[in-house]
Amino acid sequence: MLLWLTAASFLAYASGVGPRPGGMTWDVTYDVVLYNLAYLPAALLCLRAAGRVPREGVAWRALGVSLLLNAAANVVRTLVAGADGAGTSSVLAVDLLSLGAYLTMWITLVGLVRARVPRFHPSMWLDGIIGAFGTAAVGVALLLGPYLIPGEGRVPLPLVQLALPTTDVLLLALLVALGSILGVRLDRTLLLMTAALGCILVGDVLLFSRTVDGSYVDGSALELTWLSGIVLVALAAFLARPRPVPVDDPGVARTRLGWRLLALPLTANVASLAVLALGWGDSMPPAAAWLAIGCALATMARTAITFREVRAFNEVQQQARTDELTGLPNRRALLERAGQVLATASARRPAALLLLDLDGFKEVNDSLGHTAGDQLLGQIGPRLLPALAPDEVLARLGGDEFAVLLPNASLDQAQERADRLRKLMLQPFPVEDIRLHVGVSVGVATAPVPAATVQEMLRCADVAMYAAKSAREGVHVYVPDPHGGSGDRLRTMEELRTALDGDELLVHLQPQVGFADGRVVGVEALVRWQHPVRGLLSPADLLPAAEQAGLLRPLADTVLELALTAAELWWGTDPVPVSVNLSAANVNDVDLPGKVAAALDRHGLPADALTLELVEDTLMADPERGRQILGELRRLGVRTSIDDYGTGYSSLAYLRHLPADELKLDRSLTADVVGDRRAAAIVRHTVALAHDLGLRLVVEGVEDAASCAALARLGCDVAQGYAIARPMPVPDFLRWLASPEHPLLDPERLVRR
């Protein structure tokens, strides 16, 4: 409504331009009411824009005040002039109101720019100075010059009469200065405001020149120039909308590039040089010359700033692509160069990537300190670079991992180069007066087959390097797995992250029965992964990936949740506890007892419904922490079990201090108990040791009825293995639990065996 009212006021006044009815009433109607009517809705639109766009609130409020001051100045000027226009305007009233309107308009311009630029840099200030000085030089030379230094037969105007054009020149200089700071941009608000100010400045200049020449006629079409600017201001306020919050320096740097930035400062500089050239030897206001000289000096300073910024940018760019410790290219530089190489790689001109990972580097840091480790890493470049061609790249990816990019190398050439580099790495390194020997594992990948992109080539090389490290073969070439790559570690790691957030993980349950009566005394929850492509995966497929990805703790938390969810199904009728395996990451988690208690409470199960199994080697790695965690779990009432007992080396030294409830004898000690007297002796004495310590002994790997009978005679407490039942899904276990079948329930069968 306000926008239409502004436009209607413009059209209503335009209808009276030219011949109009005489009389004081008509003059007051046109010159006081209709002319100034457009200012009021435009000012209200500005105030509404201030509330709608808070970041530009100061600018729009200042513009609204400027419009009201202008309207007031127009009314006072018209009323004082009288019906015939012969009255004398009040300088103190009209000129102060007009000056206040111009000053608040400056606030508007600065506010609009400030809302778009979060921080002003020295180069931006210089761009603004260049634009302002160049514009002011042209304005003084062309607009004020003829009146400051008039030609023959003309009298110089008093400075008081030059106040209006002077403020216009200053306003135009400010407008160009702010445009130089922002650069040429398609900003709807700024474009409309620039057009509006252009209309107002054109009107002021024409009014000044016609007033001086005595050709000004009240009510002419000239009056429409100011009103056109008011309509554009109203449209800009109506269309103003909140903008995205401007980012800090990096974003500003991105927007201040290219011809859009240079257009206005370059134009202002050329204009100032033109002023100096055209005024050479002729009479020209000294102010114009000094302004033009100031513009040239600011341009020189801007050139120096630009040179410094370009040099700093190049230094930052170089640092961003260089490893600080070794001076070699870093991962970013390698990826950029690899992208260029792969863009031209083909079957006839393949590329290769070697991924090198030091073996035993952690021991160097732990024994000699990180300074020694840094010295060792600093010698990798000088050792390997002489063996590389000029177009080949050696880069440090991070830690003790390096990469070599071979732009034109076949698979055989890449493998030969990997062997040569490995031999160089195996030579001793002098570090702190010590000759250190370190190993290296090298993974080789080629492009465009099998890797078509940089990321694929890096992934394939990483998989090959991990295979070389696991097999201790030094160099390994990546070969795609036709079955989807069960060894494709990185892909498995990423897919496992997704599986943990979804419903792909599940548990299979393997019962545990007592040797004494064959009763079901427990069940172990074994994780399975229902992969959407590769099918059902066992722990052997997912645990290595979980360990490499650091997901053992969330994996154990998920298995605990699934196991307790399953236990809810049978606990009410068959109080059979469920066992869950913990990793080293869980044992080191001081919040583990609290998590377990919360999980039991969440599922409504007592503490004796859960048994937690901890691998022996995990406990021995940090016995104090293990003892603390086990003690807190036992105080909760949760049973604890030492899994894979007999495979470690320090069990007897710490066994008396570990607050465990049972030992699980590893299958490697029970597999030959029927025919191997030594294996039987080990089991018999382990049973005696466990019973003397008050522990229950569980034997894993019970594969047949004969083993059941032998282990029962040796005094074992609980059996677990294929002879009892294979791991099965939860529904199958529930059916099995309702009517269990196994050799221990058939004594005659055991006797026959």
331 pLDDT more than 60: yes
pLDDT of residue 623: 67
Q: Is the pLDDT of residue 246 over 70?
A: no
pLDDT at residue number 545: 74
**Region label for 536, one of left (φ > 0), alpha (ψ between -120 and 50) or beta (otherwise):** beta
Q: Are strands 610-615 and 639-645 parallel, antiparallel or unpaired?
A: parallel
Burial level of 632, CB count in 10 A (0-12/13-18/19+)? middle
Mapping DSSP onto H, E and C, the string for 31-85 reads HHHHHHHCHHHHHHHHHHHHHHCHHHHHHHHHHHHHHHHHHHHHHHHHHHHCCCC
pLDDT of residue 184: 65
178 vs 420, residue with greater confidence: 420
Confidence of residue 487 (pLDDT cuts 50, 70, 90): very low
**180 with 128: CB under 8 angstroms?**
yes
Spatial separation of the C-alpha atoms in residues 364 and 357, rounded to whole Å: 14
User: Mean of the per-residue pLDDT values for the chain?
Assistant: 80
Alpha helices in 549-611 (DSSP H): 552-571, 584-587, 592-603
User: CB within 8 A of 667, min separation 6: which ones?
Assistant: 700, 701, 721
What is the model's pLDDT at position 248?
44
Using the predicted structure, report yes or no on whether residue 350 has a pLDDT greater than 80: yes
| Residue 597: pLDDT over 80 | yes
Q: Is the dihedral of CA 444, 448, 451, 457 positive or negative?
A: positive
Query: What mean pLDDT is predicted for residues 12-19?
Result: 70
Share of the chain above pLDDT 70, in %: 81
- What is the band of 253 on the pLDDT scale with cuts at 50, 70, 90? very low
- Cβ(398)–Cβ(331) below 8 Å: yes
247 — pLDDT class (breaks 50, 70, 90)? very low
Which pLDDT belongs to residue 621?
56
The reported pLDDT for the residue numbered 255 is: 43
Highest mean pLDDT among 56-65, 184-193, 529-538 belongs to: 56-65
Over residues 366-387, the mean pLDDT reads: 89
What is the pLDDT at residue 258?
Answer: 57
* pLDDT 10s digits, 202-227: 887 777 777 776 776 666 777 788 88
Of the candidates 253, 266, 291, which has an alpha carbon nearest to the alpha carbon of residue 127? 266
Given a cut of 70, is residue 460 above it in pLDDT? yes
pLDDT at 751 over 50: no
- Of 110, 63, 68, the closest CA to residue 235 belongs to 63
- The pLDDT tens digits for 621-673 are 566 777 777 788 888 899 988 887 876 544 566 666 677 888 888 887 777 78
Range with the largest mean pLDDT of 486-490, 535-539, 710-714: 710-714
Confidence band, pLDDT 50/70/90 cuts, at residue 598: very high
**Can you give the pLDDT at residue 418?**
93
Q: pLDDT (tens digit, 9 = 90+) per residue, 312-325?
A: 766 776 767 888 88
Res 578: pLDDT? 95
Q: In whole angstroms, what is the distance from residue 612 CA to residue 251 CA? A: 53
Phi-psi region of 405 (alpha: psi -120 to 50; beta: other; left: phi over 0): beta
CA gap 613, 395 in Å, rounded = 44
Q: Give how far Cα 106 sits from Cα of 171, 192, 193, 234, 511, Å.
A: 7, 16, 12, 17, 84
Q: Which of these, 15, 159, 21, 10, lies nearest to 83 by C-alpha position?
A: 21
The pLDDT tens digits for 259-310 are 566 777 777 778 877 877 776 556 677 777 788 888 888 878 877 777 777 7
Give the pLDDT confidence score for residue 249 in this predicted structure. 42
Q: Please, which residues have CB within 8 angstroms of residue 411's CB and are 6 or more apart in sequence?
A: 350, 352, 444, 446, 477
List, for residues 698-735, the tens digit of each pLDDT value: 998 888 888 888 888 899 999 998 888 999 999 999 99
How sure is the predictor about 688, in pLDDT bands with cuts at 50, 70 and 90? Answer: very high
CA dist 688 and 715 (Å) reads 8
CA–CA separation, 98 and 68 (whole Å): 10
The two tokens of residue 515 are 């040797």
Q: Which helix (H) or strand (E) holds 401?
A: strand 401-406
pLDDT of residue 180: 72
> CA-to-CA distance for 9 and 486, rounded, in angstroms?
78
Q: How far apart are CA 397 and CA 133, in angstroms?
A: 51
Please, which residues have CB within 8 angstroms of residue 348's CB and are 6 or more apart in sequence? Answer: none
Q: What is the pLDDT of residue 560?
A: 92
Q: In this predicted model, what pLDDT tens digit does every residue of 102-112 receive, in sequence order?
A: 888 888 888 88
Q: Where are the domains of the chain?
A: 2-115+184-246, 331-480, 490-734
Place of tokens 């109607």: 29
- What's the rounded Cα separation, in Å, for the pair 114 and 246? 10
DSSP structure class, residue 704: S
> Which DSSP letter does residue 382 get?
H
Rounded CA separation 367/433 (Å) = 14
Return the pLDDT at 282. Answer: 61
Gap between the Cα atoms of 200 and 190, Å rounded = 15
DSSP character string of 479-511: ---TTS-TT-HHHHHHHHHHHHHTT-EEEEEEE
pLDDT tens digits along 131-176: 778 777 777 777 776 666 665 555 666 655 666 677 777 777 777 7
Compute the average pLDDT of residues 347-376.
87
Q: How confident is the model at residue 352 (pLDDT cuts 50, 70, 90)?
A: very high
Q: Which of 198-212, 336-350, 378-392, 632-646 has the lowest mean pLDDT?
A: 198-212
Bridge pairing between strands 578-582 and 520-531: parallel
Structure confidence at residue 667 (pLDDT): 82
Instruction: Using the predicted structure, report yes or no on whether residue 200 has a pLDDT greater than 70.
Output: yes
For tokens 């097999």, name the residue: 471
pLDDT tens for each residue of 80-127: 765 555 455 455 777 788 878 888 888 888 888 777 776 767 777 777
Between vectors from CA 131 to CA 126 and to CA 134, what angle results, nearest 5°? 115
Span 371-393, average pLDDT: 91
What is the average per-residue pLDDT within 28-40?
Answer: 76
**List of residues 6+ apart from 299 with CB closer than 8 A:** 130, 265, 269
Q: Which of 95, 499, 59, 416 shows the shortest CA–CA distance to 240?
A: 59
Give the integer Cα–Cα distance in Å for 284 and 146. Answer: 9
Neighbours of 252 (CB within 10 A): 17
Q: What pLDDT is recorded for position 82?
A: 58
The Cα 716–Cα 669 span in angstroms is: 13
What is the CATH code of the structural domain delimited by 331-480? 3.30.70.270
Segment (H or E) for 404:
strand 401-406
Residue 186 corresponds to which tokens in the numbers above? 């398609």
Element (H or E) spanning 698, and its range? strand 696-699
Common-topology check for domains 331-480 and 490-734: no
List the structure tokens of 485: 């790559």
- What's the alpha-carbon Rg for the chain, to the nearest Å? 43
Closest by Cα among 687, 685, 711, 751 to 515: 711
- Which residues, including other chains, have CB under 8 Å from residue 149's CB and lie 6 or more apart? 156, 283, 284, 285
In this prediction, what percent of the chain has a pLDDT beyond 90? 20
Fold exhibited by the domain 490-734 = TIM Barrel (3.20.20)
**What's the pLDDT score for residue 652?**
65
Residues 6+ apart with CB under 8 A from 694: none
Q: What is the pLDDT of residue 221?
A: 75
